[in-house]
Every structure is written in structure tokens, then in C-alpha cells.
């Protein structure tokens, strides 16, 4: 599959689906290998939002 790169400013708005899949798998592997947080917070507030250019692309 050939995907031509489209760049808007410093954001690449196109991505290869296999590369995106591999990136997510690596993130999951990293978090899984880290194990449970023993003294971590019980609740967190996550601020932010996707601009629509993240995994949706």
C-alpha cells in the first residue's frame, strides 16, 4: 500500500495502517511490561483532547 505523506505544519495527517498498529502494540507492551503501580494514585484527572489527527488517521 502506498500512502503519500500529507503534512500540515508539523503534523503528518496521513499514516500507514500497519505502522499505526505497530505503534499501538509497542505502547501496550511497554505499559504491560511495567507492571502494576504499587503506590500510584487511586484516581486521576486526564485533561486534553484529540485534535482528530491522532489514531483516527
Q: Is 29 helix (H, G, I), strand (E, B) or coil?
A: helix
What is the predicted pLDDT for the residue at 43?
A: 92
Contact 57, 13 (CB under 8 A): yes
Cα angle for residues 38, 40, 43 (degrees, 5° grid): 130
What is the predicted pLDDT for the residue at 51?
A: 65
Average pLDDT, 10 consecutive residues per value, the chain (57 residues): 76 78 89 88 82 58
pTM: 0.55
DSSP 8-state code for residue 35: -
Amino acid at each position: 500500500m502506498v500512502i503519500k505523506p500529507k503534512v500540515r505544519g508539523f503534523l503528518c495527517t496521513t499514516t500507514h495502517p500497519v505502522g499505526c498498529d505497530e505503534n499501538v502494540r509497542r505502547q501496550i507492551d511497554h505499559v504491560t511490561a511495567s507492571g502494576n503501580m504499587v503506590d500510584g494514585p487511586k484516581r486521576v484527572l486526564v485533561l486534553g483532547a484529540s485534535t482528530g489527527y491522532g489514531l483516527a488517521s
